[in-house]
Chains A and B, each alone.
Chain A
Amino acid sequence: MMKVWVVYPLRVAFASVPAALIVSALAITFLPPSVSFWVSGAVSAFSAFLFVAYAWGRHAGGLLVAPAIALLFCMNIFPLLWSFGLSFFHYRANRLAPPRFAGLHYYEKVLSDPVVWDRLQVTAKMVVLTVSLQMVIGFLLAMLFAKQFPLRRVLLILVLTPMMLSFVAVGAFFRYYYEPTFGLVSQAVRVFTGEPYVLLQSAAGATAGIVFADAWMWSPFVMLLVLAGLVSVPKYLYEAASIDRISHWRRFWSITFPYVRSLLMLALLFRTIEAFKLFDVVFLLTEGGPGTSTETIAVYVYRVSFQYFKTSESAALAYILLFTVIVLTNLYLYFANKRNRT
């Protein structure tokens, strides 16, 4: 910490406020507007700087993060708590009626609703399919990119691109990709069958389309994590193994894999949580159809809350999901840690 910040007391900073005001007033009175704008801006910035510098010198980190905390509270923490409160009241966001206390009514309703269980099953199916596809493809890509070959850097950037695209862009892209009349998939199938192919019209096709799009977007993420593990294996271990005449298969399982395992578990956790919330791609590609065959729980929550405006019910459902994810995550971490220790 630089000592220069603590050379002045706090009253200097406070004194700078009226000084800045006076200077600004004088500037506005006597100078043309285009000049006084910059003068008053500069003196107020300097005054603010004195406060920040003082806080910095006094290790008053709290003061410095206060704006961020305030923003976080307004935008995030408060709405979270508020919606939690609403889940215990009768309330619809499109009516003016004040909330009436409902107790656990909505929780009971959600948990006994067969539709919810159906949507959860759809979600589970999606999660299993997309996460396992991502893990396999991501792992294979990482194995590939752990080697050195020409154009590796360029290809790596290309492979990482989907992850950085916005969901809407990916959704729009795959919509065109699956489009029956001129989409690439349909045209490719037409070469063989002579008929346009509508992938998203069957439940299985729609599921496959969504899973493929999601895996396309997120396999690079798994690859990045696995690659980090692969490149962290010290080279001398492979050299020692080759002198010990160890087969490639055994080398992979006892040297490489242990370095990747914990990262693989982490990737699995991240991707499962994310896939559980699968919304964007589904909404953009199928909107849950055909029928409700691809309507994940996240899409269902959206419908309940913003199409049927059952605000309390959707809040209750959302909190049940949050609770489920937290419990599952902690169980997973508990078993993962236990396994690592032994």
Chain B
Amino acid sequence: MIEALLPSALDLARFQFAFVVVWHFLFPAFTIGLASYLAVLEGLWLWTGKAVYIDTFRYWLKVFAVAFAMGVVSGLVMSYQFGTNWSVLSDKAGPVIGPLMGYEVLTAFFLEAGFLGVMLFGLDRVGKGLHMLATSLVAAGTFFSAFWILSVNSWMHTPQGHVVTPDGRFLPDDWWAIIFNPSFPYRLAHTVTGAYLTTALIVGAVGAWHLLRERRGAPAVRDAGMDTGTGGAAAAQPFAPGSLVDGGATPDHPAPGSAGADRGEEASERGPNPRAKLMFSMAMWMLLFVAPLQAVLGDLHGTNTYEHQPAKVAAMEGHFETERGAPSIIFGIPDPEQERTRMALEIPNLASLYLTHDWNGEVRGLKDIPREYWPTNIPLVFFAFRVMVGLGLLMIGLGLAGGIMRLRGRLYSAPWLLRAAVAMGPAGLVAVTAGWIVTEAGRQPFTVYGVLRTADSVSPIALPAVATSLAAFVVVYFLVFGAGIWFLFKLFSQTPRPHEGAPPQGQPIRSAGITPAPSISAGAARPGPGTSGAAPQPAE
């Protein structure tokens, strides 16, 4: 009796994969968009020469370094999960999915890792053009990575281009068909767009938060002075002379190195913090156009899923009966035992309209599909889908509100809009996670849809081994990534300033350009630059 209640090694292996992949994807969901945002900011700076772009670039570069590092180390775990916990899948499907992941390493991981160092520390070692190239290559790398890994994932949802041997192994037959399998283009577009929206929401929330803080009578600039001002040394020298970001080269960017100049410039800035405005404005443009686009892409992806994985869509919709003119269930409680969705709040005919593009089209329900094809956790698929769609609608709403307030000239001064943007900061991450839960819980009980069952994919692992490793992952992830995320919030809370964090004096190179100075609380505990031999000194 008790054994029946305890999870099996298979359950724990599944939970472990879910745990490490959800944690992992939080970082790429943010950094895919952030890398492109950084490339755009640097490009705008090179094009216009306006300091606000490079200042904002530097502000987000610090964030990128931390988030990217967490993405790398959590991603390393993913590349071993397939072997440690899903070795039978690896043996059987390795000849198909392995080479695609190999291409991910060769085209994306090396590119990102190789040029990240230049992007972070090469400011004064390469020219502006080469640095721009490095930033662009890192951004391209994040896209290539998404391309290949989503191709693998999509093939497992909609497998084609292979033959199955008598002993159940998948052998490649047509690589083009494998890579561009039916669900891949939709999944790629939907996921990458989701990542861009995630970044836009975070950037917008940070910008809005600083605009709000200013309104509350705490001028950001004065705050910044406190943030960085352990003795003013750091604030006085936010620039390492000779760094690429040689503001001295442009009129907008006076020669670095003098406290007076910086402070003077900050004080002379009228109105709201221009960097916070830039962040908020760019984020609102992004939401205005891309959030509705994402709804269209999501609908196309859903239609494609309906074609290939009708059981998943039926679970998403809570449809048990096959019917013409199927309603869309806004809310309800799907009950697989009784084979109906209880307390359903419905809009008639809507599901037929968006799934079949016909008011009276027939929509398949779960009862028409053999039970062994049903997703194993239908309520999870159902509710996660509503979380994703609900947040997507809120994003569209926020984008529209931003557009209207911009037309009225009150984009930066409507407190309710700014508060809404702050509240929506994590919405992208939540929506992306919910979306992955929909698609992955929805494809159960298969790893390779319709062909290889999850139960037949797992390693011959003993329960204690997988339980122990799961516990270790849980503890370490909360500890390490918890600390990392807490630090990201510290970075978000720092006011974006002019001459933002160029490689500061007295900070080791890795932190160069990352933390302008010891921050508020503990600054005094640490020797400020130039005050102690313990701290490395700048080269002049």
Query: Is A bound to B?
Result: no
A-to-B contact residues, CB < 8 Å: none
B-to-A contact residues, CB < 8 Å: none
